[in-house]
Amino acid sequence: DADVTQTPRNRITKTGKRIMLECSQTKGHDRMYWYRQDPGLGLQLIYYSFDVKDINKGEISDGYSVSRQAQAKFSLSLESAIPNQTALYFCATSDERGETQYFGPGTRLLVL
Amino acid sequence: GESVGLHLPTLSVQEGDNSIINCAYSNSASDYFIWYKQESGKGPQFIIDIRSNMDKRQGQRVTVLLNKTVKHLSLQIAATQPGDSAVYFCAENREDTGRRALTFGSGTRLQVQP
C-alpha cells in the first residue's frame, strides 16, 4: 500500500553499527507503530506513537529507539546492531480509534 | 499469559475448495478482531474485522466467525484461489490502560494446490 512507505527496503549492516529505518505515511493518521517479524512468527510491537512527540514502548523495545518529529514520519533506530536483530521490520498506522492498522511493505534487515 | 494462537501452522487446500483458518484467543477483554493476509515479501493486508457484539461477518468470499464462549475466531474463504496463498494472521484488539493494543497470532500458511 503506497500510503505507507518504508526506506530502505533491504539493509545489510555489521554488528555494532547504528542504523535508522524510516517510515512515511500519507493517510493522515495520528498513530504510528513499529513491529518486528521473525521467520515463521507473528508481529511483535517495538514502539508506538499516538501523536507527534508521543513515544511508548512496546513488547520488545530494548536495543531500539524511535523518533516522531512529524505526523507523517516515524523512524526506528538500532543503536548498536546485533545479529539477533536480523528480521523483517514493519511500520503501521491507524486512525484515532486505534483499531485497524495499515502496514508498510517492510524492511528486511540483516546484521552480520 | 495472554496470547493469540493458531491451531494449524500450515493448511493445504485444493483450488476451488473452501478454506477454514482457526484462531484461539485468551483475553476475554478483547472486543475487536482482525484478520490480515500477508503475501511473500509484503506487509500484512487488512482482510476483514469483527466486533465482539457480532458472531459473524461476511465480506467478498470471506467470512469471519466469532465464538466468545470458547474464545475462538475463524476465517472462511470460499472457492479458494491460487492468489489466496499467503500467511494469515488473526489479531485481537482491546483497551489497555486507556489505549488500544493490538496483539497478533503467529500465523497460518495457506497453500492452494492447483
CA–CA separation, A17 and A21 (whole Å): 13
**Sequence letter at residue A38:** D
- Which residue of B43, B99, B105 is in closest CB contact with A104? B43
pLDDT of B90 over the 70 cut: yes
For residue range B66-81, what is the model confidence (pLDDT) as tens digits? 999 999 999 999 999 9
**Sequence letter at residue B49:** D
pLDDT tens-digit profile, chain A (112 residues): 469 999 999 999 999 999 999 999 999 999 999 999 987 777 889 999 999 989 999 889 999 999 998 999 999 999 999 999 999 999 999 987 767 889 999 999 999 9
Cell digits for B6? 493458531
A→B contacts (Cβ < 8 Å), by residue, are 1, 4, 40-45, 50, 56, 90, 92, 97-106
Average the pLDDT over B84-93 and give the result.
92
- Among residues A10, A6, A27, the alpha carbon closest in space to that of A101 is found at A27
**Cβ–Cβ under 8 Å, residues B44 and B89:** yes
